[in-house]
Amino acid sequence: MSGPGFVIFETALGACAMAWSASGVCGVRFPHPDRGAVAAEARRAWPQARLLEPPSEVAAIVADVRALTAGEPRDFGDVAIDLSGVPDFQRRVYDLARAIPCGQTLTYGDVAARIGAPGAARAVGEALGRNPVPILVPCHRVLAAGGRRGGFSAPGGVAAKMRLLQIEGALALERLPLFAPQASSASRK
């Protein structure tokens, strides 16, 4: 990959941005309905990068992100990412999150225990909240204890997290109150 550069692209869920360096993808901005807001955020987040036509390997990742947001499961475990400057604890969290298979989930506590930091579930959540490459590091696959939703700092919040999990087959549509049909007033009487 050459770089640094970034691209803004449309998905079924809104505009996204992706930045890359010579070492791999170094940033992703999650779908947002306002393309201008995504462009402004990209310029703030990656001031050394220029808006460029992506190299073929980045274009392939962009195509997969588009497919995922359109409802086709994708796994990004083999995508080269550049986590230079990311502290060791966060890197361990991201490495473990990348190892969660598509269609499966872990809890924040599970991740903490598996990286050798039992009791650090809150720190895991904070690390995932600072994830520079969401979707490529699938922080949406990490839930709160007991399978509760937990947080999600990307635009769309928890609803976006649940939508991604539903696309990947980790949650059945009927388990998602956000997408479940509403009972009619007649059936509630």
Residue with tokens 């050459």: 2
Question: Cα–Cα distance between 163 and 51 in angstroms, integer?
Answer: 29
Question: Cα–Cα distance between 60 and 84 in angstroms, integer?
Answer: 22
Specify the 3-state DSSP secondary structure of 6. Answer: strand
Is residue 102 part of the annotated active site? The answer reads: no
Tell how strand 106-107 and strand 5-11 pair up. Answer: unpaired
Residue with tokens 């359109």: 70
Burial of 145 (0-12, 13-18, 19+ CB in 10 A): exposed
Q: Which of 16, 26, 102, 139 is catalytic?
A: 139
Please name every residue paired with 51 in a beta bridge, in sequence order, or none if there are none.
Answer: 6
The beta strands (E) that lie in 47-173 are given as: 50-51, 106-107, 142-143
Residues belonging to the active site: 139
